[in-house]
Amino acid sequence: MGKGGNQGEGAAEREVPMPTFSWEEIQKHNLRTDRWLVIDRKVYNITKWSTQHPGGQRVIGHYAGEDATDAFRAFHPDLKFVGKFLKPLLIGELAPEEPSQDHGKNSKIIEDFRALKKTAEDMNLFKTNHVFFLLLLAHIIALESIAWFTVFYFGNGWIPTLITAFVLATSQAQAGWLQHDYGHLSVYRKPKWNHLVHKFVIGHLKGASANWWNHRHFQHHAKPNIFHKDPDVNMLHVFVLGEWQPIEYGKKKLKYLPYNHQHEYFFLIGPPLLIPMYFQYQIIMTMIVHKNWVDLAWAISYYIRFFVTYIPFYGILGALLFLNFIRFLESHWFVWVTQMNHIVMEIDQEAYRDWFSSQLTATCNVEQSFFNDWFSGHLNFQIEHHLFPTMPRHNLHKIAPLVKSLCAKHGIEYQEKPLLRALLDIIRPFTLVDPLTVAFKVARPWQARLPPSAMCL
């Protein structure tokens, strides 16, 4: 036979070379109707599949045109399971000459962070202590029981009612932290068990929606404090935050409210109304509009349980007012705890940082103590939680020293404060001048420095 031999049916087929792409080409596909992303140098077209994404199409869409490797690993504890969904979406890989990261991200920080995560895995820090979470659930049920017994035994007078309301607000806040654990898939190894218990805790114990929480909260984790991507900094024109937003509002002459007084009206419409008005309305409408009937059934079970328990003591109208007073109290707790870690940090447009740097820029910690851990649901370790969202919260303090060391190595600030200072700092981002004044200073910095008399000339 000749050199080529017989290349007939029995010969192995040659593999078709996989298409390769440059970052310039990939970054063009970052539209709502055209989405590519990169994971481990593989290029995936997620345009159609994003609507089926369990975490919502927005969170995955926020990484269109970018490398999503570390975000993908952070959100999915079972990589083998989710990997099968990626295979049909594969369209190519990065060209050999292209770096693994987009937008000039620091490859050394990325390598060190991935090594840190491997260390955490070797230390079994992603392993759950199930007794810990069982005790959390038991203490929530105990609080609910104490609340009912108080009004049952002492009657529905003002003092027993106030005590009962504060106890129920405490149980609601703690149930909020507990549903957060299950929502992040940080308790059970199998996602389906986390999803099931999550629906029970957020639905039956709180009257809210798991799907609503997932779609909102995962966006916050994916792109914290990024305008148009993190819903937690979408203030609906009520507040103006960061450095970019006041300038933008000033240029467009947008003034829906007296923003130079927002540090004053924050106390009137921020903590008191977020849960009883905005969240409660948004949750109910989301379940109905998106036909989340399972979530709606769980939420209805909460309201049935609440009203069956307290209508005998307060009547229908009284029980309804009682429920909203509890929401009012819980809302204060929720706002102050969740904002002490984020709103005081940088809030800006997309800067395309690596996973480690982006989380450190947008989060800070509060000092550890038994009370701080309980009061905040271990969100006093917000930095570690954002870096490793599937890590059980009782292990966050163990990885914190290693995170501090990595920050020191790369000159990244690791902020940690006492609880009282963290709470007081929340008001600082609201104490800004009027957006029109900010825009004026940016447009004419020389004139903004003149004394008032000269400005009138």
CA–CA dist 346, 365 (Å, integer): 14
Residues 6+ apart with CB under 8 A from 109: 354, 356, 357, 410, 412
Per-residue tokens: 123 = 């230390």
Lowest mean pLDDT across 19-23, 52-56, 154-158: 52-56
Residue 321 host element (H or E) = helix 293-339
Q: Are 64 and 37 in contact (CB under 8 A)?
A: yes
- Is residue 315 scored above 60 in pLDDT? yes
pLDDT tens, position by position, 358-377:
999 999 999 999 999 999 99
Lowest mean pLDDT across 35-39, 190-194, 258-262, 433-437: 433-437
Distances from the Cα of 143 to the Cα of 7, 153, 167, 183, 379, angstroms: 76, 15, 6, 22, 21
Q: What number is the average pLDDT over the span 258-278?
A: 91
Q: What number is the average pLDDT over the span 233-247?
A: 87
CA–CA dist 395, 382 (Å, integer): 12
pLDDT of residue 251: 84
pLDDT tens, position by position, 119-159:
999 999 999 999 999 999 999 999 999 999 999 999 999 99
CA–CA dist 196, 192 (Å, integer): 6
Q: Are 63 and 37 in contact (CB under 8 A)?
A: yes
- Is residue 168 scored above 80 in pLDDT? yes
DSSP E strand boundaries for 58-126: 90-94
pLDDT of residue 373: 98
pLDDT of residue 344: 92
Identify the bridge partners of residue 417 per DSSP, sorted by sequence position. Answer: 366
Strand 42-45 to 34-39 pairing: antiparallel
pLDDT of residue 256: 86
Q: Coil, strand, or helix at residue 38?
A: strand
- Is residue 306 scored above 80 in pLDDT? yes
Share of the chain above pLDDT 90, in %: 78
pLDDT of residue 419: 96
pLDDT tens, position by position, 379-409:
999 999 999 999 999 999 999 999 999 999 9
DSSP code at position 52: G
pLDDT tens, position by position, 61-120:
999 999 999 999 999 988 888 888 999 999 999 999 999 999 989 999 999 999 999 999
pLDDT of residue 437: 55
Q: Coil, strand, or helix at residue 248?
A: helix
Q: Are 433 and 260 in contact (CB under 8 A)?
A: yes
Q: 4 or 193: whose pLDDT is higher?
A: 193
- Is residue 439 scored above 60 in pLDDT? no
Per-residue tokens: 199 = 């629906």
Q: 288 or 244: whose pLDDT is higher?
A: 288
pLDDT of residue 454: 36
Which of 171, 109, 168, 155 is CA-nearest to residue 326? 168
Looking only at Cα atoms, what is the longest distance across the chain? 103
Per-residue tokens: 44 = 């995936």
pLDDT tens, position by position, 188-208:
999 999 999 999 999 999 999
Confidence category of residue 432, pLDDT binned at 50, 70, 90? low
- Mean pLDDT for all residues in the chain: 90
pLDDT tens, position by position, 416-429:
999 999 999 999 88
pLDDT of residue 434: 56
- Is residue 1 scored above 80 in pLDDT? no
Domain residue spans of the chain = 18-103, 105-441
pLDDT of residue 414: 97
Q: 452 or 336: whose pLDDT is higher?
A: 336
pLDDT of residue 247: 86
pLDDT of residue 271: 93
User: 256 exposed, middle or buried (CB, 10 Å; 0-12, 13-18, 19+)?
Assistant: exposed
| CATH of region 18-103, choose from 1.25.40.10, 1.10.600.10, 3.10.120.10, 3.20.20.80 | 3.10.120.10
